[in-house]
């Protein structure tokens, strides 16, 4: 089969940020009608490469050729007009506008200078139908789930006469069915001859949908491979630059837990989570399993005092207490790494160092600053231990990649040496290498006596780390399963699906 001429060729791309060499001599070729996976760890330069391609950042070096013509886009708009559309990881739409407005924002059909609403709705309908999505296009976008919003974003992107569609982690918040729906759409667009650049951390998805892949590491090109010729193990090895030791179940022998740390009795909050009872012991890793929206985060927020419990009792270390604020939880040495690091975790303007010492400083109040030496020691220690990259604590945290930002939030809580660490999706949207590191860290911390409440959408991960698993469904805690030999992902899935009635 003859290889068609690439629709897009990037060669020798280089990009320098203050303090970071983000890209160095990177090549990328996209063929028409292929799904091309862009692979790499956090901070490998995937997002930067996409931003250079779409005109968000100008390249410092290298050339971009689109359909044989050399181009340089000054803005995402120019890129879009040339046929390069992007759907970003975080949906960039206006939740207060209607679905139709979102899809056609900026290119509304007009008549006599006024917006032709009827044609606009019809056009939006038609575009969504192409993706097999049926919605009330005049409803505000905010009434739909994140997954549907993602579809709307894709509909918006492919409306433009797209030759290249970039999907930057479109699947990280979708469930299995929605992923399949997305893949159907991608296959159809592929048949139309559109080149799709696909970024995802889910290796299975990559192998299911992509034809070829380009791998980056530390801002450099590792290589370009047909997906069918590279095994998953080889891929991971190329991404992290070493062979990844197989991950066993991280807890060797069974431990007994007899010192309850946090005991919740009938704790609940109407509209968020039905009353639940839960005991977390010292040194115990408790996994929370359940679908998105099943109430996992709500349990965590109640235990951290981020939301007020409407009912029930809570005892910490045997003493009854009520957590009215996060600060109250922190005095009991409970820490909470939110799943939403952008909104609930980081202060993007502040430096990495300031973000890391923020919680420690908060516990001391503003009158007792953490001495600069102590700050530098602590920060240096955790930047090294968590391998935060780039290892420069004085750059604004927003310049870091997603996974490294996650590590910054984690470091913030670890320096407080909490007794209970609540981790809400700590490994979402980060690469395999960092994921394994964080998992290993959780196991180590719990061996050291710290209790961990571990929330993850990935059942395997929950299973690997937890001593017991709490299963949530429809905002209700439906089952508590000890993690012994008999517990498998299938059992967990079944429990989630049946709501605990079978077992």
Partner 1 sequence: MRRLLWPAVVLVLLLALNIFFTPSFFSVQVRDGHLYGSLIDILRFGAPLILVSIGMTLVIATGGIDLSVGSVVAISGALACLQISEDAGLPMAVAAALGLCLVLGAWNGFLVAAVGIQPIIATLILMVAGRGLAQLITDGQIITINDPAYKVIGGGYWLTVPFGILVVIAVLGITAFLTRRLALGMLIESVGGNAEASRLAGIRARGIVIMVYASAALCAGVAGLMISSNVSSADGNNAGLWIELDAILAVVIGGTSLAGGRFSLSGTVLGALIIQTLTTTIYSIGVPPETTLLFKALVVTAVCLIQSPSFRAKAFRRRGRSAPTQPSPEERVLAGRGGTA
Provide the binding-site residues for partner 1, judged by CB under 8 A: 16-17, 56-58, 60, 304, 306, 325-327, 330, 336, 338, 343-350, 354, 358-359, 361-370, 412
Q: Give the tokens for residue 82.
A: 């040339």
Q: Closest CB to partner 1 among 343 and 485?
A: 343
Q: Which residues of 181-201 are buried (b: 16+ CB within 10 A; e: fewer)?
A: bbbebbeebbeeebbbbbbbb
Q: Closest CB to partner 1 among 180 and 325?
A: 325
- The answer to whether 199 and 167 have CB atoms below 8 angstroms apart is yes
Q: In angstroms, what is the minimal distance from the CB of 30 to partner 1? A: 24
Element (H, E) at 471: strand 468-473
Q: Closest CB to partner 1 among 309 and 359?
A: 359
Q: In angstroms, what is the minimal distance from the CB of 23 to partner 1? A: 12
Q: In angstroms, what is the minimal distance from the CB of 361 to partner 1? A: 5
Q: In angstroms, what is the minimal distance from the CB of 306 to partner 1? A: 6
**DSSP-derived secondary structure for 45-93:** SHHHHHHHHTTSS--SEEEEEETTEEE--SSHHHHHHTTEEEE-SS--S
Q: In angstroms, what is the minimal distance from the CB of 437 to partner 1? A: 23
Q: In angstroms, what is the minimal distance from the CB of 358 to partner 1? A: 5
List own/partner pairs for 478-486 with CB under 8 A and 24 or more apart.
479/503, 480/278, 483/287, 484/254
Q: Closest CB to partner 1 among 57 and 251?
A: 57
Q: Closest CB to partner 1 among 21 and 251?
A: 21
Element (H, E) at 100: helix 99-104
Q: In angstroms, what is the minimal distance from the CB of 58 to partner 1? A: 6
Q: Is 126 helix (H, G, I), strand (E, B) or coil?
A: helix
Q: Closest CB to partner 1 among 191 and 373?
A: 373
Q: Closest CB to partner 1 among 334 and 459?
A: 334
- The answer to whether 423 and 442 have CB atoms below 8 angstroms apart is yes
Q: In angstroms, what is the minimal distance from the CB of 362 to partner 1? A: 4
Q: Give the tokens for residue 64.
A: 């971009």
- Tokens 């977390």: give the residue: 280
Q: Please report, to the nearest 10 degrees, the dihedral formed by the alpha carbons of residues 359, 362, 368, 372 taken in order.
A: 30
Q: Closest CB to partner 1 among 348 and 380?
A: 348
Q: In angstroms, what is the minimal distance from the CB of 330 to partner 1? A: 5
**DSSP-derived secondary structure for 22-51:** EEEEEEEEE-TT-EEEEE--TTSSHHHHHH
Q: Closest CB to partner 1 among 216 and 408?
A: 408
Q: Closest CB to partner 1 among 372 and 440?
A: 372
Measure the CA–CA gap between 128 and 131, rounded to whole angstroms: 5
Closest CA to 288 of 85, 463, 431, 449: 463
Judged by phi (left if over 0) then psi (alpha if -120 to 50, else beta), residue 283 lies in left
Q: In angstroms, what is the minimal distance from the CB of 395 to partner 1? A: 13
């Amino acid at each position: 089969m003859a290889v068609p001429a690439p629709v897009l060729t990037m060669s020798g791309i280089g990009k320098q940020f203050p303090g970071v060499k983000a890209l160095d001599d990177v090549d990328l070729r996209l063929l028409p009608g292929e799904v091309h996976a862009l692979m790499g760890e956090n901070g490998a330069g995937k997002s930067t490469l996409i931003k250079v391609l779409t005109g968000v950042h100008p390249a410092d070096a290298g050339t971009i050729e689109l359909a044989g013509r050399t181009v340089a886009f000054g803005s995402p708009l120019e890129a879009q007009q040339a046929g390069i559309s992007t759907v970003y990881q975080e949906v960039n739409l206006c939740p207060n506008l209607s679905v139709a407005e979102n899809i056609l924002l900026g290119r509304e059909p007009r008549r006599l200078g006024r917006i032709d609403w009827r044609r606009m709705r019809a056009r939006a309908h038609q575009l969504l139908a192409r993706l097999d999505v049926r919605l009330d296009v005049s409803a505000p976008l905010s009434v739909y789930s994140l997954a549907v919003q993602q579809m709307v974003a894709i509909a918006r992107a492919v409306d433009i006469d797209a030759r290249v569609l970039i999907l930057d982690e479109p699947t990280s918040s979708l469930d299995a069915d929605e992923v399949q729906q997305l893949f159907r759409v991608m296959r159809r667009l592929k048949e139309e001859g559109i080149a799709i650049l696909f970024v995802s951390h889910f290796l299975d998805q990559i192998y299911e949908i992509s034809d070829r892949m380009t791998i980056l590491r530390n801002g450099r090109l590792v290589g370009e491979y047909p997906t069918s010729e590279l095994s998953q193990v080889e891929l991971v090895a190329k991404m992290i630059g070493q062979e990844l030791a197989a991950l066993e179940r991280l807890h060797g022998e069974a431990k007994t837990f007899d010192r309850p740390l946090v005991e919740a009795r009938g704790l609940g909050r109407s509209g968020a989570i039905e009353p639940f009872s839960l005991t977390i012991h010292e040194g115990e890793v408790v996994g929370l399993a359940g679908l998105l929206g099943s109430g996992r985060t709500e349990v965590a927020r109640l235990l951290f005092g981020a939301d007020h419990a409407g009912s029930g009792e809570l005892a910490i270390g045997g003493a009854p207490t009520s957590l009215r604020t996060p600060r109250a939880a922190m005095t009991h040495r409970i820490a909470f790494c939110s799943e939403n690091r952008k909104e609930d975790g980081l202060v993007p303007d502040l430096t990495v160092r300031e973000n890391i010492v923020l919680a420690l400083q908060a516990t001391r109040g503003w009158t007792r600053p953490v001495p600069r030496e102590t700050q530098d020691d602590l920060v240096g220690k955790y930047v090294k231990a968590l391998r935060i990259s780039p290892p420069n604590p004085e750059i604004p945290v927003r310049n870091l990649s997603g996974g490294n930002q996650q590590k910054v939030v984690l470091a913030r809580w670890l320096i407080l040496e909490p007794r209970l660490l609540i981790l809400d999706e700590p490994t979402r949207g980060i690469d395999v290498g960092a994921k394994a590191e964080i998992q290993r860290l959780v196991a180590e911390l719990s061996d050291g006596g710290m209790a961990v409440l571990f929330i993850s959408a990935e059942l395997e991960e929950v299973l690997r780390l937890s001593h017991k698993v709490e299963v949530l469904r429809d905002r209700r805690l439906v089952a508590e399963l000890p993690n012994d030999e008999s517990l498998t992902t299938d059992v967990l899935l079944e429990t989630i699906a049946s709501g605990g009635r079978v077992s």
